[in-house]
Amino acid sequence: MRRKILLPTDFSKNAWQAITYAIELYKKEQCDFYILNVFSLSGDIIGGLINMEPGGALYETAKLESENNLAKILDMLAFRDHGNTKHHFETISVYNHVVEAIKNVVEEKDIEIIIMGTKGKTSARNGMFGGVAINVMEKVRNCPVIVVPELAKHNIPKEIVFPTSYKTHLKRKELQYLIDLSKNCNAAIRVLHVSEEVILSQEQLSNKKLLAEYFNSVLHTFHSLKHIDVPSAINCFVQSRESDMVAFINKKHMFFGSILSHPLVKEIGNDSTVPIMVMHDLRN
């Protein structure tokens, strides 16, 4: 069965890095890669909306530029991928809001995962995620998203850190993509618990036991850090072990308030070489 992977691009350096990371991550697997560029006009928004009709000069000029740049990416990939017969590339050029366009392609193409850069051409250099990456991670909830920092190494992950409080009962299907990635890459999952509690409650112990059952088919270990805030703990753990990826469950109305608004954004951001995989709580 072929994997279907969406690669959004704004033709920035970071977007290209995310594409090449995806190719390396799945170099041994049968994959259909969909490279998406969403084009629009900058400047006069109202004028752009009025004039950006199919067939209009502005629309056709913007679309041609988008298609030409996508063609250049295909040329670079043909050279870089060395004719990997397992990989097939298709380009998509659309005029729309970026998140809406991504949602549409995910639905139409039955996309399994999105892999994209953390920053685009217009993102500030002092932030971890560009606005587009934030919105995709938060609003596209029917498939996982891997965001690739600017300085990410193109290594197949051998160790994936999975932070948890053990306070939430997770379902196996919510973690299935993490388990599959672990198997495909032969990567160990390091379950990291960060807490002020000295002793786990019965509910936490039960949830920890469930995780052990879910991860029984892959190499995994359990770790605990206390008396340190969550972002710092994750950052220290990843750096000290030279881990290759961090995986989160995005619980709606909670993840971006509890994690991304904390110093983790800065600490694991600008100088990070660790991609982050965001999965979703399927109950939301």
- The reply to whether 103 and 80 lie within a common domain is yes
Q: What is the pLDDT of residue 215?
A: 97
Residue 121: the pLDDT is 62
pLDDT of residue 127: 44
Question: How many Å apart are CA 69 and CA 67, to the nearest integer?
Answer: 5
| Inter-CA distances, 31 with 44, 166, 171, Å | 39, 34, 27
Residue 273 backbone phi and psi in degrees, to 5: -120, 20
Whether 126 is covered by a domain: the verdict is yes
For residues 128 and 266, give the distance between their C-alpha atoms in angstroms, rounded to a whole number.
Answer: 6
- Co-location of 105 and 8 in the same domain: yes
Domain finish residue from 117, 148, 179 = 148
Residue 153 lies in a domain: no
Rg (C-alpha) for the chain, rounded Å, is 20
Structural domain range at position 39? 3-148
Residue 183 sits in a domain whose CATH number is 3.40.50.620
In a domain, 154, yes or no: no
The pTM (predicted TM-score) of the whole model is: 0.87
Give 277's strand partners.
146, 247
CA distance 124 to 206: 43
Same domain assignment for residues 142 and 19: yes
- Domain identity same for 35 and 102: yes
Same domain? 98 vs 179 = no
Are 18 and 136 contained in the same domain? yes
Residue 248 near residue 142 (C-beta atoms within 8 A): no
Tell me the average confidence (pLDDT) per consecutive run of 10 residues in the chain, 284 residues long: 94 93 91 93 54 74 93 90 84 92 96 89 49 81 89 85 90 92 95 84 94 96 88 85 89 50 43 79 62
